[in-house]
Amino acid sequence: MKNYKAYCFDLDGTVYRGKKGIDSAVRFIHQLQQENIDYFFVTNNSSKTREQLQQALANIGIDTPTFRIYSSALTTAKYVAEHFDKATIFMVGSDGIRTALEAEGIRIVDTDEARPDVVVMGIDRTVDYMKLVKASLAVQGGAKLIGTNEDVRFPSELGFLPGNGSFVNLVANVAAVEPTYIGKPSPVMLEVIQQEFGLAKEDMVMVGDNYDTDILCGIRFGCDTIHVNTGVTSTSIVLQKDQKPTYCVENLDEVKI
């Protein structure tokens, strides 16, 4: 395996499962830090702010500055600000997406007070039926439907849990529309890292457990990819794909720097 100048890691299923770190990933990232090799975290989790993700990493023994953390919430907020200037937003989500939207000066409204131009959906662990009703009716009324990411499920220490894509698909099916997704497998977050740090694609590698998000993100971006057998997609399934990762490993102990 070649050496890279920048390693880009998914989080859920790659670096940790729920609140428990994946030991091989923690060891590998510590080695990158010791060798002064660039690393970044590229997550579809829109529920947390950069600071909250930083704390989640600290809790498993990885101390990192926030500038190394990129989330679908940040990317979605920038997309909405660029494409829907002065729009009103109905939001389904948590602290991460709310903070990111507010930082872009985007007006968040309830459907009871205004007719939204856009419905933005990120993972919301307190979502209830009426919130999904409001989102569905707003989209039927002409609002654009944007999901931070399309992950149908994600791994935890207990097993697989419903992901944001499950709820976005529900609203999309009710309103009979095709949603726009911003997170992986869209290569936008990798493109931002490349631009901000002046990296060449051949010097970057995307590391992840989920073929349909992490690995396809790297493939669509045009960089090498490493699939780890620690989360959503098993190696046996990955090896059946037409577009295969550059490397498949059981875990990151197999990767030498």
For the stretch 141-164, pLDDT in tens is 999 999 999 889 887 888 889 999
Name the burial class of residue 82, with classes exposed (0-12), middle (13-18) and buried (19+) by CB atoms within 10 angstroms of its CB.
exposed
In the chain, where are the structural domains located?
Answer: 6-44+184-254, 73-181
In whole angstroms, what is the distance from residue 103 CA to residue 92 CA? 17
The share of the chain scoring above pLDDT 90, in percent, equals 88
Average pLDDT over every residue of 32-48: 95
Close Cβ partners of 85 (under 8 Å, ≥ 6 residues apart): none
- In the predicted structure, residue 116 carries a pLDDT above the cut 90: yes
Domain 73-181 classification at class level: alpha beta
Establish whether 224 is a catalytic residue: no
Q: Please say if the pLDDT value at position 119 is more than 90.
A: yes
Reply yes or no on whether 10 is catalytic. Answer: yes
- Averaged pLDDT of the chain: 95
Least trusted range by pLDDT, from 26-35, 107-116, 225-234:
107-116
pLDDT for the residue 154: 83
8 Å CB contact between 213 and 219: no
* Cis peptide leading into residue 185 (ω within 30°): yes
Segment 157-182 shows an average pLDDT of: 94
Q: 38 to each of 43, 156, 204, how far by Cα in Å? A: 17, 27, 9
Asked if the domains 6-44+184-254 and 73-181 are classified in one and the same CATH topology, the answer is: yes
Strands (E), the chain: 6-9, 16-17, 20-21, 38-43, 69-71, 88-92, 107-108, 118-121, 144-147, 153-155, 160-162, 180-181, 204-208, 224-228, 247-249
Whether domain 6-44+184-254 has CATH 1.10.1200.10: the reply is no
Asked if residue 112 has pLDDT above 90, the reply is: no
